[in-house]
Structure 1
Amino acid sequence: MSKYLIVGLGNIGSEYAHTRHNIGFDVLTAFVLKHNGTFTTQRLAEVAEIKWKGKIFICIKPTTYMNLSGKAFKYWMDKEKVPVENTLTIVDDLALPLSKIRLRPSGSSGGHNGLTDIEATIATDKYPKLRFGIGNNYPRGMQVEFVLGKWFPEEVAVVAKKVQACIEAIESFSTNGIERTMNLINKTEFI
């Protein structure tokens, strides 16, 4: 059985729940719910194990706070003996418009603290990332408030569509591989 580590990035605590910065948590929660899984609190993360189509998904939401995400990522990757190419990290991305999702096999952190810490901890940027565009619709100097803020009412429907698309992307990543999944998802415009 091939094994995958699916990492949703976010911050623990009710004040961060369902904010733009926590979309990685929300996507992973939706994926686990779809497959009738449940999270339990374990070392450095909330963890759920999903079995689907002959594959095992170790799903983690790090409890280390965003800036120390690498610690949980590396611990679970090593513990479960998952090769780095079978990991998928779901993350919010300011540089992408709300209408886009982007899957890549590698690439820089783009200044995202969670990705920066993973990269530093595993000493490479060559690990798959699923970037959830959140746009940059904020006044100058208000980036932190925007990222840690809740979705605007007019964004909620698009966000819901994209969460479903991300669930399909996780499934496709494991069954069709990253190249085919990129061809499917990266061109899609969500409105």
Structure 2
Amino acid sequence: MIGLGNPGPRYASNRHNVGFMFLDRYAQRAGCTSSFVRETNYELLECGNVKLVRPLTYMNVSGLAVKALVAKYGVSVDDIIVVYDDVDLPLGKIRIRQKGSAGGHNGLKSIIETLKTDQFIRIRIGIGPKPEGVDLAQFVLTDFSDQERVVLDKVLDVAVQAVQTILSEGVQKAMSLYNSVEVIT
């Protein structure tokens, strides 16, 4: 499972780092007691039979880290789940898909180009909407407000449940259960 974000403390709480936040929440909920270990250009935490991966290449070139992961561990595209932020999805919602375009997300675009396929599971976590008149790059690199953080915490738990469903019952079941869920405070 690959969570997208940007490395370093400057970006830790940014909207664009929802993928990293998700991995931390997943590890916590799954009871993983070890820590992420740095590999070439990503961090890896083996949590049971699930590999949690944080690319350290910055968002727009996430595919480089995925390429290194696939080369080292022989990870099949069928076993990849990518979790990332989506500005076009409102905060409080997730969307699970089995395949599809990058939808304007440069991190996902980099992964699709590197793997030469869009046939992998992805979970989009809503961070929108972007306020009118605010630059997209500026918006995704801002932190969540305290009120938004309350919603995000609940959404991260829903996303963890969705992944557990994918792993145990399949992506179709997870899509039917979680694509219509909206977290409201």
2:18 aligned partner, one-letter code: I
Moved over 4 A (4+): none
Aligned mate of 2:41, from 44, 68, 76 = 44
1:20 pairs with 2:41 = no
1:11 pairs with 2:11 = no
Q: CA deviation at 1:170?
A: 1.6
- Contact map agreement 1:30 1:163 (CA 8 A) in 2: yes
- Contact map agreement 2:63 2:113 (CA 8 A) in 1: yes
2:23 aligned partner, one-letter code: L
Greater mean deviation of Cα atoms: 112-121 or 148-157: 148-157
Aligned residues with identical type, % of pairs:
36
Q: CA deviation at 1:116?
A: 0.7
> What is the alpha-carbon distance in structure 1 between the residues aligned to residue 172 and residue 71 of structure 2?
25
Q: CA deviation at 1:45?
A: 0.6
- Contact map agreement 1:74 1:121 (CA 8 A) in 2: yes
Q: Which residue of 2 aligns with 1:115?
A: 108
Within 5 Å, give how 1:59-98 maps onto structure 2. Answer: 59-98=52-91
Q: Which residue of 1 aligns with 2:131?
A: 138
Q: CA deviation at 1:114?
A: 0.4
| TM-score (norm: length of structure 2) | 0.94
Q: CA deviation at 1:17?
A: 0.7
Gaps in structure 2 of 5+ consecutive residues: none
Q: CA deviation at 1:64?
A: 0.7
2:40 aligned partner, one-letter code: R
- Contact map agreement 2:87 2:130 (CA 8 A) in 1: no
Q: Which residue of 1 aligns with 2:117?
A: 124
Aligned mate of 2:152, from 153, 159, 162 = 159
Gaps in structure 1 of 5+ consecutive residues: 1-5
SS in 2 for 1:121: helix
Q: CA deviation at 1:139?
A: 3.0
Q: CA deviation at 1:189?
A: 1.2
> What is the alpha-carbon distance in structure 1 between the residues aligned to residue 171 and residue 132 of structure 2?
36
> What is the alpha-carbon distance in structure 1 between the residues aligned to residue 25 and residue 92 of structure 2?
19
> What is the alpha-carbon distance in structure 2 between the residues aligned to residue 70 and residue 46 of structure 1?
14
Tell me how many residue pairs correspond in the alignment.
Answer: 182
Cα RMSD (Å): 1.2
Aligned mate of 1:168, from 141, 144, 161 = 161
| TM-score (norm: length of structure 1) | 0.91
- Contact map agreement 1:32 1:38 (CA 8 A) in 2: no
SS in 2 for 1:32: helix
Q: CA deviation at 1:77?
A: 2.5
SS in 2 for 1:94: strand
SS in 1 for 2:7: coil
